Chains A and B, each alone.
Chain A
Amino acid sequence: MATGNDQIYYQEGTEGQHVHEEEHHHGNFITTYIFSTDHKMIAKQYLFTGIMWAFLGGLLSIIFRLQLGFPGMDMSFLKPILGGWINETGNLDPTFYLALVTMHGTIMVFFVLTAGLSGTFSNYLIPLQIGARDMASGFMNMLSYWFFFLASMVMLYSLFIETGPAAGGWVVYPPLSALPQAIPGSGTGMTLWLVAMVFFIVSQLMGGINYISTVINLRTKGMSFSRLPLTIWSFFLTAIIGLLSFPVLFAGALLLVFDRSFGTSFYLSEIYIAGEALPNVGGSPLLYQHLFWFLGHPEVYIVLLPALGITSEVIATNARKPIFGYRAMVGSMIGITILSFVVWAHHMFVSGLNPFLGSIFMFLTLIIAVPSAVKVFNYLTTLWKGNLIFTPAMLFSIGLVSLFISGGLTGIFLGNAAIDIQLHDTYFVVAHFHLVMGSVSFFGLMAGVYHWFPKMYGRMMDNTLGYIHFWATFVGVYLVFFPMHYIGIAGFPRRYYSFTAFDPFNAFVDMNMFISVAAILTFGAQAIFAFNFFYSMFKGKKAPANPWRSNTLEWSTPRFPEHGNWPGAIPMVYRWPYDYSKPDAKEDFIPQYVPFSATPESNLPHEEDTYGIEMEGEETKKMDEPHAK
Chain B
Amino acid sequence: MFGLIVGIGVILLVVIIFTIFRILKLINVARSSNKKRVSSSNKVNATLMLAFLLGAAGLFTWYSVAEYDKYTIPIGSDHGIAVDEMFWITMLATGIVFIITQVLLFIFAYKYRYQEDKKALYYPDNSKLEVVWTVVPAIVLATLVFGGWKVWTDITSKAPEDAEVVEVMGYQFGWALRYPGEDGNLGNYDYRLIDAENMWGMDFTDKASFDDFTATELHIPKGKPILLKIRARDVLHSVYIPEFRLKQDAVPGMPTRFWFVPNKTTAEMKDELNNPDFEYNIFCAEVCGQGHFAMRLRIVVEEPEDYQAWKTTQKSWLQTKPDYLAKVPQNLKEVAIISSGMDNDKVKNSEANNL
Contacts and interface: CB of A to CB of B under 8 A. Distances in A.
Interface of A: 66, 70, 73-75, 77-78, 94-95, 98, 168-169, 173, 175-176, 179, 182-183, 268-273, 275, 277, 281-286, 319-328, 350-352, 355, 358-359, 362-363, 366-367, 369-370, 373-374, 376-381, 383-390, 395, 398, 401-402, 405-406, 409-410, 412-413, 415-419, 421-422, 424-426, 462-465, 467-468, 471, 474-475, 478, 482-483, 486-487, 489-491, 493, 495-499, 501-504, 507-508, 520-521, 524, 527-528, 531, 578, 580-583, 588
Contact of A374 (B13, B106, B134): B134
Contact of B141 (A321, A327, A378, A412): A412
Contacts of B97: 373, 405, 409
B325 interface: no
B71 A493 contact: no
Contacts of B234: 175, 179, 182, 271-273
B190 to A, nearest CB: 8
Count class of interface residues, chain B = 35 or more
20 contacts: A77-B4, A95-B290, A269-B253, A271-B235, A273-B233, A362-B148, A366-B144, A369-B141, A374-B130, A378-B130, A379-B105, A390-B45, A421-B247, A422-B83, A425-B286, A464-B24, A465-B17, A483-B63, A487-B71, A495-B287
Contacts of A478: 56
B3 A77 contact: yes
Given A370-B134, A421-B155, A95 B289 contact: yes
Contact of B113 (A169, A359, A390): A390
Nearest to A500: B293
B119 A273 contact: no
A482 B60 contact: yes
Given A380-B101, A520-B6, A421 B245 contact: yes
Interface in B108-143: 108-109, 112-115, 118-126, 129-130, 133-134, 137-138, 141-142
Contacts of B46: 388, 390
B90 A413 contact: yes
B159 interface: no
Given A94-B290, A326-B125, A351 B71 contact: no
Nearest to B132: A377
A425 B247 contact: yes
Given A272-B233, A277-B192, A418-B86, A182 B289 contact: yes
A326 B126 CA distance: 10
Nearest to B194: A272
A405 B101 contact: yes
Interface string B140-155: 0110110011011101
Interface in B53-112: 56, 60, 63, 67, 70-73, 82-83, 86-87, 90-91, 93-94, 97-98, 101-102, 104-106, 108-109, 112
B252 A270 contact: yes
B86 A321 contact: no
Nearest to B13: A524
A497 B14 contact: no
Task: Enumerate the 7 nearest inter-chain pairs by beta-carbon distance, A residue then B residue, closest first.
Answer: A269-B253, A355-B156, A491-B242, A416-B148, A418-B151, A581-B120, A390-B45
Contacts of A415: 145
Contact of B123 (A275, A286, A352, A385): A385
B133 A350 contact: no
A486 B71 contact: yes
Interface string B181-195: 000000000011010
Contacts of B3: 66, 73, 75, 77-78
Nearest to A364: B145
B327 interface: no
B50 interface: no
A336 to B, nearest CB: 13
B236 A94 contact: no
B347 interface: no
B41 interface: yes
Given A355-B152, A422-B87, A490-B70, A388 B287 contact: no
A493 B102 contact: no
A389 B253 CA distance: 60
A94 B281 CA distance: 22
Interface of B: 1-4, 6, 9-10, 13-14, 17-18, 21, 24-25, 37-39, 41-42, 44-46, 48-49, 52, 56, 60, 63, 67, 70-73, 82-83, 86-87, 90-91, 93-94, 97-98, 101-102, 104-106, 108-109, 112-115, 118-126, 129-130, 133-134, 137-138, 141-142, 144-145, 148-149, 151-153, 155-156, 172, 191-192, 194, 196, 201, 233-236, 238, 240, 242, 245-249, 251-254, 256, 277, 279, 281, 283-294, 296
B95 to A, nearest CB: 8
A604 B73 CA distance: 60
A374 to B, nearest CB: 6
A587 B105 CA distance: 27
B287 A325 contact: no
Contacts of B90: 412-413, 416, 419
Nearest to A496: B293
B253 A464 contact: no
Contacts of A169: 287
Contacts of A351: 249, 251
Given A286-B251, A416-B86, A418-B151, A424 B290 contact: no
B293 A328 contact: no
Contacts, number: 364
Contacts of A173: 236, 286-287
A397 to B, nearest CB: 10
Given A363-B149, A421-B247, A486-B63, A182 B172 contact: yes
A464 B21 contact: yes
A393 B17 CA distance: 20
Nearest to B237: A176
Nearest to A376: B101
Given A284-B254, A369-B141, A520 B10 contact: yes
A549 B133 CA distance: 31
A585 to B, nearest CB: 9
A271 B252 contact: yes
Contacts of A490: 70-73
Contact of B253 (A283, A374, A388, A491): A283
Contacts of A286: 251, 254
Contacts of A483: 63
Contacts of B283: 493, 502
Given A175-B252, A406-B98, A395 B83 contact: no
Contacts of A388: 42, 46, 109, 112-114
B114 A468 contact: no
A415 B123 CA distance: 34
Contact of B121 (A425, A468, A493, A581): A581
A146 to B, nearest CB: 33
Contact of B148 (A179, A324, A418): A418
B112 A385 contact: yes
A421 B240 CA distance: 9
B105 A168 contact: no
Contact of A387 (B70, B114, B294): B114
A193 to B, nearest CB: 15
Contact of A94 (B172, B279, B291): B291
A358 to B, nearest CB: 7
A390 B110 CA distance: 10
A496 B238 CA distance: 13
Contact of B125 (A325, A350, A383, A384): A325
Given A373-B137, A388-B113, A421 B236 contact: no
Contacts of A277: 191-192, 194
A377 B129 CA distance: 10
A280 to B, nearest CB: 8
Contacts of B194: 272, 277
Nearest to A382: B123
Contacts of B296: 501-502
Contacts of B102: 402, 405-406
